[in-house]
Structure 1
Amino acid sequence: MNKMKKIVTILALGLAFATSCSDDFLDKEPTDQLGASTVFEDQSLAQAFLNNIVGQLPAGQYSSPGAGYGNSYLLASISDEARSKSGWVPSNAVVRVGSMNPLDLGGLDIWDDAYTAIRQTNEFLESLEASEFDEEFKTRAAASARYVRAWFYFDLTRRYGDVPLLTAAQSLDDEDLFPSQTPRSDIYTFVNTELTAVAAGLQNKSEAKAGELTKQAAIALNARAMLFAERYADASALANSLISGVENDGLELYGANPASLEEAIKNYGDLFLSTGGNVETVYEILFLPPEKSHQFDRGNWPVRWRNDNGGQTDPTQELVDDFEMSNGLAIEEAGSGYDPANPYAGRDSRFYASIFYHGSEFSEVSPSRGEPFIDMEWNGFNEGPGTVRDGNASITGYLVRKFVDPSLGFAPEGVSNTAWQEIRFAEVLLIFAEAENEVNGPSAAVAEAVNRIRRRAFMPELPAGLSKEDMRDKIKQERRIELVFENHRWFDLIRWDEASTVLNATYHGMKIERNGVPTSGESGPQHVFDPAQLTFTVFEDPAFSNSFPDKYKFLPIPQDEMDANTNLKQNPGY
């Protein structure tokens, strides 16, 4: 809590990113440091300071601003969704090998950043209250700042458990300058109370610019927090107010009623190419290069479309196997139609929009060589794994397709501008379904919430007559697929108390080899995509192993914070 204890008498106003896509998105405030009295005599300066606070909300994209999301890897890579290909990446060097400790949190630490934002929020609120600005501005500004504070307390408590709760600006003579931790349940109560008040002070989504904080964002974050707190009645009621209540304000699934599988694939893929303002988005963080961009495309594109980088996030065979067949059956179920000799045929539409697999077409951009189809052949020295492989190729035989933006052209660098959709309406539906099922069982409303998502995917509806336990499993399955690669899986497995089982495992990839067809070095074709000429073999590799010690259920408190504040108690196991 080093920064938390620093008492700020000067407010630094650097580049303030407004949270909209309006013309003033890139307006820059002076970088000179201004006294607090000066800032709160000028409403535009106070707004710039608020923009700076809101701008600290993290984005979950690869190499995005903000701590706690790995930065050099997607959180998918520390779950059963994917592996990172590079040994130096913290997901490999620290987290998955069970080595996380108070000196190295492997990219998951948010403590310092969170308390910096909280401290600035507390100071802002105190000065705002004493200002003579008009009441409408003060109400809206206070609500926005409190949203940021509530977000960070939610994120702190889901990661670390009990954390200090600071709701007022500190001074050097405060008796509680070195606070002890507040119980996790009390943090969730604070978040719930705060976001309820925040929602009343924010505008509706329909009145806001893309990227701005809204009433719907506050309600949705509150619903998510209450789901984590296992306060299911609250989570259900909050989510339902956004689904069928007066707070819906036009929220809907994007491409809700496709006429075909192909349309469903396109709709789901296009959703994640939005640069802001999608009908499904409840809260998002915008990017506008070169001042603000992320590096997902640089780090994760297939290598023949980059040559210099890419392939960092490699989905596991376990994830691929969990995509149902298009008839709604799991691949292992009788009658599913799954063919291990042609494993990618007839799958859930979201599989094709989320995963690059052998034979996936990527013709919107021309590759540096060969045909515009993903080639995962073993030892083919294209996109695929093997004992001989390009260093930027996949190690599992799969790559992430979700978020890939073909409009950027060959080898995109520092230009990625797709919005990070932190909360989508699909998640709201799933929050409601999970919470309501826990409270009242598998009602028609629960099934309909899930079925709306499945209809958008051109998938069959859930079978009738599910028990509460069966419905719970179906909802978990739907979260796994619908929210894949969106930084939910790690936290979901922990809150479901399944991480110690699911994440203590060795995962698998797919080895694809020619069957009776000469290699290109033997005057054979450069690529082979016909399944009849290939063999598909699931393989295991030591790099796919994963360790999740019980202590990982909560992160360690960073050692420098423990040293600075002796009233803190370290989490068990560290």
Structure 2
Amino acid sequence: MKKIYSLLIAISLGLAACTTLEEDPQSFISPGQFYKTANDAVAAVNAIYFHLNQNDIVGQPIYNSLYNTGMDFMTDDLSAGPGSPNPDVRSLSALTHSSTLIRGKESWQQHYSGINKANVAIERIPGITMDEKLKSRLLGEARFLRALYYFDLVRQFGGVPLLLTDQTQLSVEELQVPRNTADEVYAQIITDLKESANSFKAGSTGELGRATEGAAKSLLSKVYLTKRDWANAITTAEEVINGAYGYKLLDDYSQVFLPAYKNSKEHIFSVQFNSAANITNAVTARDIATGIPGLKGSYGDQLTFYTKGTDKYFSIYKLYTAKDKRRNVSFVTRYKSPTNGKWYGNLHDSKVPGDSIPYLNKYWDPNYASTGKSEANANLLRFAEVLLIHSEAENELNGPTEKAYTSLNKVRKRAGLDDLTTGLTKDEFREAVYLDRRLELVGEYQRYFDLIRQTGSEVTGVGPEGRGTLLKNLQAVGKTNVAARHYLFPIPQFEIERNKKLKDAQNPGWE
């Protein structure tokens, strides 16, 4: 089937958003000139996907380094490595960033550009005379992507301006808009995802790499989990687990990330990469060690190393048991040069046998050495996570029931681990889910948001427990600058200066 690697860059440029209040609305293609045929509708929706792996503004695409450096570096798992000299990026890793953070501005602008393209498609496609099944499917994709972009924004910044119409035809004054509350943004996300799921029921089958009904349901279960709406998270996850979508865990954990198996039965929604279209995964080079003949590696992504007991180089790598098959897929400790056939690795401490530096390996493409271009997809939603969502929500609502154990143990069994021992308390089971989620999803842009949800603090607005997970975990690994303000990113100062209605709306601690 045809994939959506070529997203019509020219069209995407023509439909760039002005929601950041810096575009000239007169520079856009007139709606009357464009939205007339089915091909126009397809091109409009393709343009919404664009920001997932490409960029028409400035800086890095969202899921092709931006979220890697902007989210994973703010956790206890990863930090900026030697190949990340950019002071903006290093400030995120050390949690010393401010409202002038370039990466925050880029994230805001790119998400809103995608949102506006979705708004345009949702407004204009209904008026096009075309096959109704295809029209319904395209509208489902547009609503899914708008929900995904807003889900990213509300988790990163809290309440944000909720823009649901085409902004390209408005004046600068009309674009001065206030923040909506986080609850209002979440309500729209849920509405969009429900409508998206229903849009696919018309029977039109999408192409590989595109959003589907199963993707809409899976993301909705994740939204409910984030809101700690356990009952709806359970119900929606079970619709995915027990539905007719055909999702299953791949037998081998390594297959989940290899390009040869992408878009298979475990992959619910992934960001697509293809070297023929010159859209490749830039994260691969960031993960690889420097100085390996024949490999292009910058070692920009480094594990967070810290002292635990007498071990001065403890990291997430050492949280895996020897039986856990995920460790040697997610990480490597040495590389074989494709040029001279020699093995290269580095030791933390030559006095400690085998204490080698682990390098993140999830986005490794076996063909990377010969091409320098990785086709490894970025998996945003996969079936293993739906099982973990179900297990966590079931435990939070009903305690460690048989259903909670069943979903978690499916993930553990694939990892080569024994079933979790029954008889755990609710708190013990919660910690077990958290750990397996951390080990299963390392490097997949999840940890920062997981730490916030697991914090259960009044400060975050997500729960009353006040476990303080984010602060405790980051302080434990030496990221002592962490504070309550880091539950959210600061609203970019650039946006505050451009939009007078954001002037007094900065997040707590960033004023």
TM-score (norm. length: structure 1): 0.73
Deviation at residue 38 of structure 1 after TM alignment: 2.8
Hey, what does 1:551 align to over in structure 2?
485
Identity across the alignment (%):
25
Hey, what does 1:253 align to over in structure 2?
249
Hey, what does 1:144 align to over in structure 2?
141
Hey, what does 2:156 align to over in structure 1?
159
Residues in 2 aligned to 1:420 and 1:307: alpha-carbon distance in whole angstroms:
21
Deviation at residue 27 of structure 1 after TM alignment: 8.1
Residues in 2 aligned to 1:373 and 1:397: alpha-carbon distance in whole angstroms:
11
- Aligned residues of 2:64 and 2:282 also touching (Cα < 8 A): no
Letter in 1 for 2:506: Q
Letter in 2 for 1:128: I
Note the alpha carbon deviations across 1:548-572, whole angstroms, 9 max, x for none: 2211111111112111222220101
Distance 1:307 1:349, change over 3 A: closer
Hey, what does 1:350 align to over in structure 2?
326
SS of aligned partner of 1:225: helix
Deviation at residue 108 of structure 1 after TM alignment: 7.7
Distance 1:555 1:109, change over 3 A: farther
Residues in 1 aligned to 2:492 and 2:86: alpha-carbon distance in whole angstroms:
20
Root-mean-square deviation (CA, aligned residues, Å) is 3.1
Structure of larger gyration radius: 1
Superposition map of 1:203-214 within 5 A = 207-214=205-212
1:80 counterpart (53, 76, 82): 76
TM-score (norm. length: structure 2): 0.82
- Aligned residues of 1:213 and 1:283 also touching (Cα < 8 A): yes
Note the alpha carbon deviations across 1:329-350, whole angstroms, 9 max, x for none: xxxxxxxxxxxxxxxxxxx111
Deviation at residue 129 of structure 1 after TM alignment: 2.5
Hey, what does 2:472 align to over in structure 1?
501
Distance 1:503 1:91, change over 3 A: farther
Residues in 1 aligned to 2:215 and 2:60: alpha-carbon distance in whole angstroms:
20
Residues in 2 aligned to 1:460 and 1:206: alpha-carbon distance in whole angstroms:
41
SS of aligned partner of 1:429: helix
- Aligned residues of 2:197 and 2:213 also touching (Cα < 8 A): yes
Hey, what does 1:232 align to over in structure 2?
230
Letter in 2 for 1:272: F
Structure 1: where are the runs of 5+ without partners?
Answer: 1-20, 256-266, 327-347, 386-395, 508-544
Hey, what does 1:243 align to over in structure 2?
241
Letter in 2 for 1:37: G
Distance 1:204 1:96, change over 3 A: farther
Residues in 2 aligned to 1:426 and 1:311: alpha-carbon distance in whole angstroms:
28
SS of aligned partner of 1:133: coil
- Aligned residues of 1:195 and 1:218 also touching (Cα < 8 A): yes
Hey, what does 1:482 align to over in structure 2?
440
Residues in 2 aligned to 1:205 and 1:487: alpha-carbon distance in whole angstroms:
32
Deviation at residue 128 of structure 1 after TM alignment: 1.9
Deviation at residue 210 of structure 1 after TM alignment: 1.8
Query: Which 10-residue stretch deviates more, 50-59 or 136-145?
Result: 50-59
- Aligned residues of 2:237 and 2:386 also touching (Cα < 8 A): yes
Distance 1:441 1:124, change over 3 A: same
Residues in 2 aligned to 1:23 and 1:176: alpha-carbon distance in whole angstroms:
38
Residues in 2 aligned to 1:123 and 1:72: alpha-carbon distance in whole angstroms:
29
Hey, what does 1:330 align to over in structure 2?
none
Hey, what does 1:218 align to over in structure 2?
216
1:22 and 2:8 are equivalent in the alignment:
no
- Aligned residues of 2:7 and 2:47 also touching (Cα < 8 A): no
SS of aligned partner of 1:283: strand
Distance 1:449 1:553, change over 3 A: same
Distance 1:310 1:204, change over 3 A: farther
- Aligned residues of 1:73 and 1:91 also touching (Cα < 8 A): no
- Aligned residues of 1:90 and 1:106 also touching (Cα < 8 A): no
Residues in 1 aligned to 2:133 and 2:204: alpha-carbon distance in whole angstroms:
18
Residues in 2 aligned to 1:72 and 1:448: alpha-carbon distance in whole angstroms:
31
Residues in 1 aligned to 2:387 and 2:86: alpha-carbon distance in whole angstroms:
34
Residues in 2 aligned to 1:82 and 1:440: alpha-carbon distance in whole angstroms:
33
1:284 counterpart (256, 270, 277): 270
1:405 counterpart (356, 365, 370): 365
Letter in 1 for 2:448: W
Residues in 2 aligned to 1:27 and 1:156: alpha-carbon distance in whole angstroms:
23
- Aligned residues of 2:225 and 2:393 also touching (Cα < 8 A): yes
Residues in 1 aligned to 2:227 and 2:48: alpha-carbon distance in whole angstroms:
26
Query: Which 10-residue stretch deviates more, 178-187 or 440-449?
Result: 178-187
Superposition map of 1:172-187 within 5 A = 172=170, 177-187=175-185
Q: Which has the higher helix share?
A: 2
Deviation at residue 53 of structure 1 after TM alignment: 1.3
1:270 counterpart (232, 255, 260): 255
Letter in 1 for 2:139: A
- Aligned residues of 2:45 and 2:138 also touching (Cα < 8 A): yes
Residues in 2 aligned to 1:465 and 1:199: alpha-carbon distance in whole angstroms:
37
Letter in 2 for 1:292: I
Residues in 2 aligned to 1:57 and 1:249: alpha-carbon distance in whole angstroms:
24
SS of aligned partner of 2:418: coil
Distance 1:71 1:238, change over 3 A: closer
Hey, what does 1:128 align to over in structure 2?
125
1:435 and 2:393 are equivalent in the alignment:
yes
Deviation at residue 156 of structure 1 after TM alignment: 0.9
- Aligned residues of 1:185 and 1:229 also touching (Cα < 8 A): no
Hey, what does 1:390 align to over in structure 2?
none
SS of aligned partner of 2:44: helix
Residues in 1 aligned to 2:430 and 2:411: alpha-carbon distance in whole angstroms:
16
SS of aligned partner of 2:364: coil
- Aligned residues of 1:269 and 1:403 also touching (Cα < 8 A): no
- Aligned residues of 2:364 and 2:374 also touching (Cα < 8 A): no
Distance 1:120 1:352, change over 3 A: closer
Hey, what does 2:465 align to over in structure 1?
none
Hey, what does 1:301 align to over in structure 2?
288
Letter in 2 for 1:473: E
Hey, what does 1:42 align to over in structure 2?
37
Letter in 1 for 2:445: N
Aligned length: 461
- Aligned residues of 1:283 and 1:423 also touching (Cα < 8 A): yes
Hey, what does 2:26 align to over in structure 1?
none
